């Protein structure tokens, strides 16, 4: 494995193009299983999680080919296998969402249960409730979820929490059910709307995407579709934070303002100058940011996936900030690493109180998960001296060409083999 070696202090300046949305792509690739015929996806990010989902589709006997320039072709006319292997679901939770589409196409599906992960338990009870409500018999045994149903029937489902994944999973599955399905308290994340646009291109009948009530009129069959994946709002937000931390001037192209409005409004609150023109987000900051409070919530609340990089920004802001993580129970695993860089943070449960310090210092650090890694990179960009960040395989799951993009903006960063990886530490 590699590690990042990064020397802080450079002002990031210039323009990058945001890659396609990781979370949008993963839901859409699972949805492609519903269609008989070829689906062609454009602007698919070349990242670890997409490769895992491609492996999953192939494991189901579905044709799935990656081409240059972010093109992925999927042909789910035939689904030869109805069981999804544990090792793929273990690698990436989102691959669990093939359950409903395979069930809808084949009348049976068996998928390993995703484990918890670095940020929380992440149960799948809402997903199971929805699949059962559509008429499936669901058996959970030996770590696998088995679902069986000759013909799915439209239903009404209420989600206790507006879960993005459960909304996407139930919505996709309901496309091939008989009759109308209504999802109440549905998630309104942009990735739900992106999936809806894709499914509609396949011939699905869906209304209300982007609101808390989504209606799906089942159809007999869906076809393949062409679809261009929109930009990744989490990648754009991460680079925007890096621009502020380094007092830089960065343009991020292909960003839809509506997708990133909550984050943008908070960035302006700390004193950043954020402008949008023709889907290009320009972020400038020439003074030390001010403290502010962050409370993560389902969309249109502040996105939980940008809580970590934003906290890295608040670590050197003027004043005291309170960060409350309302979506996941364990999303502060980067805090100890920031403290080792000199941050003054007191974290208790779902809240972290951050007293801004003038400067952080570079350290050797470990990324524990995707967005924690993003926080460490942002902190290191503004820190004094050199940082070495290992565990960057987490970053490579969700950020396409992060090192190249940072270099293009003037960062002093490179990926080098992580010699320490070979040492075994006994504690």
Question: Which residue lies nearest ligand EPZ, judged by its C-beta?
Answer: 165
Cβ-Cβ contacts under 8 Å for 235 (sequence gap 6 or more): 18, 19, 22, 398, 399, 400
Q: Give 94 or 145: the residue with its C-beta nearer to ligand EPZ.
A: 94
DSSP 424: P
Residue 304 touches ligand EPZ, criterion: CB under 6 A:
yes
Query: Which of these ranges, 20-28, 196-204, 272-280, 379-387, lies near ligand EPZ under the rule CB under 6 A?
Result: 20-28
Site for ligand EPZ in 80-99 (CB under 6 A): 94
Residue 307 touches ligand EPZ, criterion: CB under 6 A:
no
Which residue of 156, 161, 211, 344 would you call a contact of ligand EPZ, by CB under 6 A? Answer: 161
Residue 164 touches ligand EPZ, criterion: CB under 6 A:
yes
Residue 173 touches ligand EPZ, criterion: CB under 6 A:
no
Site for ligand EPZ in 321-380 (CB under 6 A): 327-328, 370-371
Q: Among residues 2, 1, 14, 35, which one has the least CA distance to residue 411?
A: 14
CB of 314 to ligand EPZ, least distance (A): 19
Is 117 tagged catalytic? yes
Residue 305 touches ligand EPZ, criterion: CB under 6 A:
yes
346 forms beta bridges with 353
Which residue of 34, 131, 136, 166 would you call a contact of ligand EPZ, by CB under 6 A? Answer: 166
Which residue of 120, 143, 179, 349 would you call a contact of ligand EPZ, by CB under 6 A? Answer: 120
3-class DSSP state of 35: strand
3-class DSSP state of 213: strand
Q: Give 316 or 347: the residue with its C-beta nearer to ligand EPZ.
A: 347
CA–CA dist 303, 262 (Å, integer): 8
Query: Which of these ranges, 102-110, 122-130, 249-257, 279-287, lies near ligand EPZ under the rule CB under 6 A?
Result: 122-130
Query: Which of these ranges, 81-89, 105-113, 125-133, 388-396, lies near ligand EPZ under the rule CB under 6 A?
Result: 125-133
- The catalytic residue among 64, 117, 149, 285 is 117
Residues that bind ligand EPZ (CB under 6 A): 22-23, 26, 94, 120-127, 161, 163-166, 187, 189, 191, 234, 304-305, 327-328, 370-371, 398
Residues catalogued as catalytic: 117
């Amino acid at each position: 494995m590699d590690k990042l070696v990064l020397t802080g202090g450079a002002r990031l300046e210039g323009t990058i193009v945001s890659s396609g949305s990781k979370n949008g792509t993963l839901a859409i690739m699972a949805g492609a299983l519903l269609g008989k015929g070829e689906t062609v996806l454009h602007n698919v990010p070349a990242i670890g999680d997409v490769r895992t989902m491609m492996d999953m589709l192939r494991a189901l006997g579905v044709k799935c080919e990656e081409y240059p320039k972010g093109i992925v072709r999927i042909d789910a006319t035939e689904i030869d296998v109805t069981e999804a292997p544990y090792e793929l679901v273990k690698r990436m939770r989102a691959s669990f969402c093939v359950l409903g589409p395979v069930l809808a196409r084949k009348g049976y599906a068996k998928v390993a249960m995703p484990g918890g992960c670095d940020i929380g338990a992440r149960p799948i009870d809402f997903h199971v409730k929805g699949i059962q409500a559509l008429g499936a018999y669901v058996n959970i045994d030996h770590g696998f979820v088995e679902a069986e149903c000759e013909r799915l029937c439209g239903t009404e489902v209420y989600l206790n929490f507006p879960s993005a994944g459960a909304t996407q999973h139930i919505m996709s599955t309901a496309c091939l059910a008989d009759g109308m399905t209504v999802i109440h308290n549905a998630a309104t994340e942009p990735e739900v709307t992106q999936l809806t646009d894709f499914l509609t291109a396949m011939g699905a009948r869906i209304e209300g995407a982007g609101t808390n009530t989504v209606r799906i009129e089942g159809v007999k069959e869906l076809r393949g579709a062409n679809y261009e994946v929109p930009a990744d709002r989490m990648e754009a937000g991460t680079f925007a934070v890096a621009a502020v931390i380094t007092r830089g001037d960065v343009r991020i192209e292909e960003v839809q303002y509506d997708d990133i409005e909550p984050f943008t409004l908070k960035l302006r609150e700390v004193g950043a100058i954020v402008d949008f023109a023709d889907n290009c987000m320009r972020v400038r900051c020439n003074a030390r940011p001010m403290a502010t409070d962050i409370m993560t919530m389902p969309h249109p609340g502040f996105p939980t996936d940008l809580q970590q990089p934003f906290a890295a920004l608040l670590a050197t802001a003027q004043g005291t900030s309170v960060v409350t993580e309302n979506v996941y129970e364990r999303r502060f695993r980067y805090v100890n690493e920031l403290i080792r860089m000199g941050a003054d943070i007191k974290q208790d449960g779902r809240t972290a109180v951050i007293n801004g310090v003038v400067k952080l210092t570079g350290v050797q650090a470990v990324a524990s998960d995707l967005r924690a890694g993003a926080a460490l990179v942002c902190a290191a960009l503004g820190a004094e001296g050199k940082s070495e960040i290992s565990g960057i395989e987490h970053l490579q799951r969700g950020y396409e060409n992060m090192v190249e993009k940072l270099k293009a903006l003037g960062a002093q960063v490179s990926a080098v083999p992580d010699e320490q990886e070979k040492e075994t530490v006994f504690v």
